[in-house]
Structure 1
Amino acid sequence: VAKLQTAFGKRSATPLQLTVGGKTVELKPEKAGLTLDSQTTVRNATGSDYNPVTVIGSLFGVERTAAAVMPVDEEKLKDSLQELAGTAGTASEGTITFDTGKAVAVPGKAGTSLDVDSSVDKVTKAFRELVANGKAAPVELPTATKEPTITQAELNRAMKEFAEPAMSGTVTVKAGTKSLAFGAKSLPKILSMQPVQGKLVEKYDLEALKATYGNAFDGVLITRGTGAKTPVTPQDVAGALGKGLVGKTPAERVVSIDTNAN
């Protein structure tokens, strides 16, 4: 396994070169759910049933042909391609951005974008070629004309119901005897909006959130449904923050994390 990993590990970690609408982008296999299963590949190579796909050969001291097992997490691959679609092509999705103390509606525009579903097989094939041969030609991925899924009406709704209230003032999150206020400077680092089935839904950057509150809630334990007592997590803070952001009165913008979930 170690020999196989040494020989093919570097190949399987090499970023794939993709072309979308004339623009070259890189895709990291591991992030996209493309991997080499060394253990299973070795079992196949040392067993009695060989599938002639990739020559492993001299790694085992004799010339043998075996199938290199390369499982694909299709959901993860589609997510990664969806991210690429946002950076390549001319189409853009409607969204809301957050700046110091304000929310800004950004209408989407029609254009060309990566055809995610049609690209899955092409990317998978390129990855397998890269692992087998040590190189793969840049892959030109198909594009399609795309209309924004976020309408102006949806932008207006999201602004009125969430974005504008969110930036209208500070929100204080409490846990036990400790508390922290989130305001005009910290919220834009944490908040974003993402399209989900034609709707804009708020998203919290949990790493940025943790960096913002730091050790503010250290020492506070939450009794979980299992009875276990564990420290405050970014998910706990995000849940409370989300409630406070839509609060209309000062009192509604102070939210306590329930420390006893039982």
Structure 2
Amino acid sequence: MLEEELREVLTARGADLIGFGALKGVPGAPLPNGVAVAVRIPREVLRDIRQGPTKRYYDCYQVLNERLNGIVLAGERFLRERGFGARALSTDRVTQSGDARTALPHKTVAVRAGLGWIGKCALLVTEAYGSAVRISSLVTDAPLVCDVPVLPRCGGCARCEQYCPAGAVRGRAWENGTDRDELVDIAACRRQMLQMTRESFGVATTICGQCMVHCPFTNRYAETGNMERAVSRGAESAEES
């Protein structure tokens, strides 16, 4: 099947999560289907940033962004070679407006593709890794069997709001149609990130990680790993013994 072959291509390039989402009618979507991919942030990097961003975290971002570019470009090539239209939304092709918006956010594709939901801090939250992921996407007219979106699971949790050093998280739960600015004061967030990274490692950049690293879903991954994978590995070892 096309979906299985595409998953194999993307996994071989390093994707940890993959989903297919219907984009018909979504503003900014030039083609009817989207492919969302995510790569996890290593646990050891997460454990370093519980008090603030680090140079190691910054370097990790650059590495993962390049990996994501390679993944979505590989997906684009695979689909085009089979006669379908496809466009990878790699970093060199996506432009941001002055308020850090893009025509088709990767998060929109990821939610449509069932990778996760939007948390109260406006980050994607996944079951397996919490918000400890970097994401990218591509769009295509290939007739993919699409995944089902995931319902939000934040409930009454307010940890991202509690730990935001800028006080930028407003505490509102996301639902379909909620604008980003209803969730987060993005200007306050960016000011705080620039200050923190400048003071921490001398580079003024927009990373922080506090809402991410204190999310319970991220904590479960960072401290104990993904339980489903651990169970799977244990079963495989039992079969081999």
TM (norm. structure 2) is 0.25
TM-score by length of structure 1 reads 0.24
Q: Which has the higher strand share?
A: 1
